[in-house]
Structure 1
C-alpha cells in the first residue's frame, strides 16, 4: 500500500466513523477505498469490520448522555445483536460474495420507508395502545428483538446501512426520541462489529495496515459524528437518514 493509498484509507476511516455515529452506512465509504487499494472483497470486508470497531465504540461513548436510563433495553437488544452478528460473520465465509447483493437494496429501501413513516406509525400505535389499554414495552418486545437480530445477521455479513435498518425498526416499535434511539444504534453496531471481528481474527485473512488506518480514523470520526449528531433535531436527523440511505441504495445498485 502506497503512502497515498494509506492516506486515502485513513481519511475514509474518519468519514466512515463520522457518518456511522450520526446515521450509519460508513462502510459504503471505506469498502470501495479498500477495494481500490487492491484488497480482495472478503479481505476488504473483514479488514473493514475490524477497523470500524473503535469508531463504533467512540460513537457510543459520544452518545453516553442519551444512553442514560437505557441500560436494560440495551443489554437485551445487544444479545440479539451478538447472535445475529456472529451468524452474519459465519455466512460471509460460507456464502458467495454476491449472496446478499439482490436483497440489500430492498432492505434499505424498506427501512427508509419506515423512517419516513415513523411519526405516523408511532401515533397510530399510540392511539391503539390507548384504545386497548396496553402499555408500551420499553424494550420493544419479541418483534423488535427478532427484527434487530435479523438486521444484525446482515450487519455481521457486510454492515453497510445496518444503522438505518436499526433506527427504522426501533423508531416503529419504541416510544422514544430519535437521538436516544441513535445512541442505542451505536451500541448495537459496536456489538455486531466486535463479535464479527473476533470471529474473523481466528478464521479469515485481513490486512493489518488497513485495519490500523481505519481504526485510527474511525475512532476520531466517531467523536466528530457524535458531536454533530447530538445537535440535530429529530426532523433533521430523519432527513439526513433518508438522504444517506438513498445514496446507499444507488451505490449498492451500481456495484
Structure 2
C-alpha cells in the first residue's frame, strides 16, 4: 500500500466516522474508496465493516449522556441488532459473490434515496405521534426494525444508520439526540457481531481496515462534538454524490 492510499483511507475513515455519528451512511464513502483501490466487492465490504467499527464505538461514546438510565431497553435492542448482524454476515459469506455484485448497486441507490427522503419521512411520521412523544417507546416496532436493519447492516452496511435513525426517531419518545444515541449503539452492535463472523470465517485486508479505523475514531469524536452544528443538507449532498459514483463504478467496471 502506498503512502497516498494510506492517507486516502484515513481521510475517508474520518469522513465516514463523522457522517456515521451525525447522519449515517458513512460507508458510502469508505466502501467506494476501497473499490477504487482494487479490492474485490465482498473483501471491500468485509474490510469496511471492520474498519468503521471503532468509529461507531467512538460515536456512541460521544453521545453517552443521552443513554443514562436506558440499560434495559439498550440490552433488548442490542440483542436484536446483534442477532441481525450475525445473520447478515452469514448471508454475505454464503451467498455467491455474483449476488452481492448484482444487489449492491440497488442497495446503494436505496441508501441514497433514504438519505434524501429520510427527513421528509421522519417529519411526516413523527407528526402523527405528536410533538411531545408522549406515547412512549414502541418496542413492537423498534425491536423487529432493529433486527431487520442489522441484517441489512451485516450484509452490506451503507445506509444502515439512516434506516435506524428514521426508525428510532418515529418509534421512540424523546428528542432526536436520544434516537441518534441509540442509532450509534445499535449500528456498532450490528457491526461488532458481523465482524466476529468475518474474523472467524474470511479474509480481511487488515492494513486497509486499520487506516480506516484510525480515521473513523477521530471522525466519531468530530461528529459527536461538532456535527450537530453543521447543516445536514451538506452531508446528504456528499453522500448522494459518492453513492452515484459508486453505482456508476459497478455498472462500468
TM-score, L = length of structure 1: 0.85
Select between 108-117 and 85-94 the one with higher mean Cα deviation. Answer: 108-117
1:119 aligns with 2:123: yes
Q: Where does structure 2 lack aligned partners over 5 or more consecutive residues?
A: none
- Once the 2 structures are TM-superposed, how far is the Cα of residue 154 of structure 1 from its aligned partner? 0.8
- Once the 2 structures are TM-superposed, how far is the Cα of residue 113 of structure 1 from its aligned partner? 3.3
Residues in 2 aligned to 1:245 and 1:31: alpha-carbon distance in whole angstroms: 12
Residues in 1 aligned to 2:124 and 2:68: alpha-carbon distance in whole angstroms: 26
- Once the 2 structures are TM-superposed, how far is the Cα of residue 18 of structure 1 from its aligned partner? 1.2
Aligned partner of 1:100 in structure 2 is 103
Residues in 2 aligned to 1:245 and 1:208: alpha-carbon distance in whole angstroms: 25
- Once the 2 structures are TM-superposed, how far is the Cα of residue 64 of structure 1 from its aligned partner? 0.9
Q: Where does structure 1 lack aligned partners over 5 or more consecutive residues?
A: none
Aligned partner of 1:250 in structure 2 is 244
Contact residue 62 and residue 226 of structure 1 kept, 8 A: yes
Question: What secondary structure is seen at the aligned counterpart in 2 of 1:101?
Answer: helix
Contact residue 118 and residue 162 of structure 2 kept, 8 A: no
Aligned partner of 1:44 in structure 2 is 44
Cα RMSD, aligned residues only: 2.5
Change (3 A) 1:69 1:244: farther
Aligned partner of 1:147 in structure 2 is 145
Aligned partner of 2:16 in structure 1 is 16
Change (3 A) 1:249 1:33: closer
Residues in 1 aligned to 2:114 and 2:207: alpha-carbon distance in whole angstroms: 36
Select between 179-188 and 168-177 the one with higher mean Cα deviation. Answer: 168-177
Question: What secondary structure is seen at the aligned counterpart in 1 of 2:25?
Answer: coil
Residues in 2 aligned to 1:252 and 1:76: alpha-carbon distance in whole angstroms: 35
Change (3 A) 1:64 1:216: same
| 1:158-214: CA deviation from partner (whole Å, max 9, x where unpaired) | 111110000111122222211111111110111011111111011111111112111
Residues in 2 aligned to 1:229 and 1:205: alpha-carbon distance in whole angstroms: 34
Q: Map 1:229-244 onto structure 2 (within 5 A).
A: 229-231=227-229, 236-237=231-232, 239=233, 242-243=236-237
Q: Map 1:122-133 onto structure 2 (within 5 A).
A: 122-126=126-130
Select between 91-100 and 189-198 the one with higher mean Cα deviation. Answer: 91-100
For these two proteins, the number of residue pairs brought into alignment is 245
Select between 117-126 and 37-46 the one with higher mean Cα deviation. Answer: 117-126
- Once the 2 structures are TM-superposed, how far is the Cα of residue 92 of structure 1 from its aligned partner? 1.0
Question: What secondary structure is seen at the aligned counterpart in 2 of 1:205?
Answer: coil
TM-score, L = length of structure 2: 0.86
Contact residue 27 and residue 48 of structure 1 kept, 8 A: yes
1:84 aligns with 2:88: no
Residues in 1 aligned to 2:63 and 2:177: alpha-carbon distance in whole angstroms: 9
